[in-house]
Structure 1
Amino acid sequence: MTFDVFIPFWGDPGLLYDAVRSVQAQNDPDWRLTVIDDCYPDVSVADFFQNLDDARVTYTRNTENVGITENFRECVRRAEATHLTILGCDDLLRPNYVEVVKRTIAAVPHADVIQPGVQVIDEHGAPSQPLTDRVKHDLLAPRRGTDIAVLRGPEMATSLIRGNWLYWPSLTFRTETIRRFDFRDGFPVIQDLALLMDMAFAGATLAYDPEIAFSYRRHSESASQKTLLDGERFADERRYYALAARLADDLGWRRTRRTARLRIVSRLHGAAELPTVLRKGTRAGIRSALAHVLSI
């Protein structure tokens, strides 16, 4: 198999070049990289790829800015291999990434989504362990030692709606599976979770190999942090959790429905962020955070 890696680009060119080099540094050479530039206003980006001299790397530039969601969709449309990864333009593959993913596919051939082990780094590339990521790793991710964990359908849905422990840019998808789904309208902040839940509701299989093979960059001033302060993230989560509870109820998945209705981890996250929102948030953000923590 030739493994498709895509980078939808809008951001820091220097971090993009690091991401590209991390793909080139793979121990397993069975990959193909496509960078889709969403009209970032820096002509030097095209020059970098023109001088790269690597036939495995393709650079293309959109004729107009289409936004990150549409650029994701374009990545899926262009995929030719059986599996694809949509790498964040500021994240890094570790040299063993393709090896780990291919090993997981060999062990779980029917897997639709593969999550390798992830190390979080800060904006400077140093290892980092914010509370959110400690909770993901220590409390939410399956604990199977070094074994591959396999979750399917209701088990996958319940695990993710309890608390989304996946890292979207690190995931590998079966191409034919992800093409059956699209991002839901109305959930701009957590559209990745909504798409993964739709896969789970349709009976998809998630395989988790805990061997670290990916570096996820978490910025202190990220877009998601800003949506916490203005209340958009919490409002988005409440709307989606209510929808997930209804979808689970339609399928008779009682445990998933109950977990979505209680949304305990989501509300605890709101409580943990409340001091920051009270200090820095807007009035709407404070109201949204309080409602998120107190309402069921």
Structure 2
Amino acid sequence: MIPTYNCAELLKRTLASVLEQDPGPEDMQIEVIDDRSTKDNPEEVVAALGQGRVKFFRQPQNVGAQTNFTSCISRASGHWVHILHGDDMVRPGYYSRTRRAAEEAPSIGAAFCRYIYMDEDDHWQRFSEVERRTPGILADYLPALTRTNPIMFPAISVKRAVYEKIGGFHPQLAHSADWDMWKRVYLNCPVWYDPEPLALYRVHSASDSSKLMMTGANIADGRASIAVAHSYLPPDLAATLSYDARQHLALAALGSARELLRAGHQRAALAQVTEALKTQTSLTTATDLARLVASTVIYFGKSGIREVHAALRSRRGSARGG
């Protein structure tokens, strides 16, 4: 199932990567679900490349990414659902190895693989971390999965029955609806992992995640996802896992701030810093604060100090209210 929005040119590469390993209509449904694209016409791409093999559905109105992902689930007819974004790709062997995993371990409800980050021109940038050295079911994976999101959409397939049991993607999580979903999936079924890099995840400046990073909204959204997960995590682990997740998110924000500074995006860097302060109290130690204030003076001047001070006041107010 391929959700799209204004990415028709890249959709050509996505479809080609799927059709290259198409087992036939008896074994796999291929459908593009478009969220009312305004800048191009993915239906033309489907007609040209699909040759009748690929179905096309256009939403009656723009529904947003998360609802469009949920539409992929509701429109799927197979036992397994692979939501492959219209700008991502799969490598040869993805579907055959996923099928082999499902046959070898019938109890699993999801399977994901190692993946490769690529740029707009399909150039490989880096590989995701190896979660285990050999294919198999992931044990004791909840701490890693709740600390950060190690799974990107093109790398994972989920049983339709699991999706139907736990519900669709959270409509209020703009950046982290997938992370929220994978946590819920893991809590409801065994999950298989394949260390072979069989999926390609595209990172480019036009992506939603890149836009959110410029305002710090990606960190605010991650914080919201952590709060949502706290309600369904095992009660004896929820507090510890949530704290660790907030700490990791805050440190990631500071790392992003450094990268943004090097790239000349000063305001975006400041947004990441202020969101980091809202996220984790451990960052407000004397040493961290001294370094932060020094960096703020150097890069942002008085306006930066005011924003950091406002973030601290906001965090303290939230702590008192909680």
TM more than 0.5: yes
In structure 2, distance between residues paired with 1:282 and 1:53 = 43
Distance 1:77 1:249, change over 3 A: closer
**2:16 corresponds to:** 21
Q: C-alpha displacement at 1:294, in angstroms?
A: 4.9
**1:81 corresponds to:** 78
**2:243 corresponds to:** 261
Distance 1:238 1:295, change over 3 A: farther
**2:288 corresponds to:** none
Question: What is the TM-score of this pair, normalised by structure 1?
Answer: 0.82
Distance 1:44 1:101, change over 3 A: same
CA contact (8 A) 2:115 2:201 kept: yes
Q: C-alpha displacement at 1:109, in angstroms?
A: 1.3
Worse-superposed segment, 94-103 or 62-71: 62-71
CA contact (8 A) 2:205 2:211 kept: no
In structure 2, distance between residues paired with 1:243 and 1:68 = 19
**1:170 corresponds to:** 155
CA contact (8 A) 1:277 1:285 kept: no
In structure 1, distance between residues paired with 2:46 and 2:229 = 42
Deviations 1:182-206 (A, max 9, x none): 22343222111112222333x3221
Greater gyration radius: 2
CA contact (8 A) 1:16 1:89 kept: yes
Worse-superposed segment, 101-110 or 26-35: 26-35
In structure 2, distance between residues paired with 1:75 and 1:11 = 17
Q: How many matched pairs?
A: 275
Distance 1:149 1:163, change over 3 A: farther
Opposite residue 44 of structure 2, the aligned amino acid is: D
Worse-superposed segment, 48-57 or 265-274: 48-57
- Return 5+ residue gaps in structure 2 as ranges: 284-322
| Local SS of the residue matching 1:182 | coil
| Local SS of the residue matching 2:124 | coil
**1:192 corresponds to:** 178
Alignment of 1:8-87 (within 5 A): 8-26=3-21, 28-29=23-24, 30-41=27-38, 44-52=41-49, 54-87=51-84
In structure 1, distance between residues paired with 2:227 and 2:45 = 46
Q: 1:271 aligns with which of 237, 249, 254?
A: 254
1:211 and 2:193 correspond: no
1:105 and 2:92 correspond: no
**2:232 corresponds to:** 247
In structure 2, distance between residues paired with 1:123 and 1:52 = 20
CA contact (8 A) 1:100 1:116 kept: no
Q: C-alpha displacement at 1:157, in angstroms?
A: 2.6
Q: C-alpha displacement at 1:283, in angstroms?
A: 5.7
Q: C-alpha displacement at 1:179, in angstroms?
A: 1.5
| Local SS of the residue matching 1:40 | coil
| Local SS of the residue matching 1:31 | coil
RMSD: 2.5
Q: C-alpha displacement at 1:53, in angstroms?
A: 5.7
Deviations 1:114-149 (A, max 9, x none): 1022122111101102xxx6xx51xxx423x2x213
- Identity of matched residues, %: 24
Worse-superposed segment, 155-164 or 236-245: 236-245
- Return 5+ residue gaps in structure 1 as ranges: 1-5
Distance 1:99 1:66, change over 3 A: same
In structure 2, distance between residues paired with 1:291 and 1:188 = 18
CA contact (8 A) 2:177 2:225 kept: no
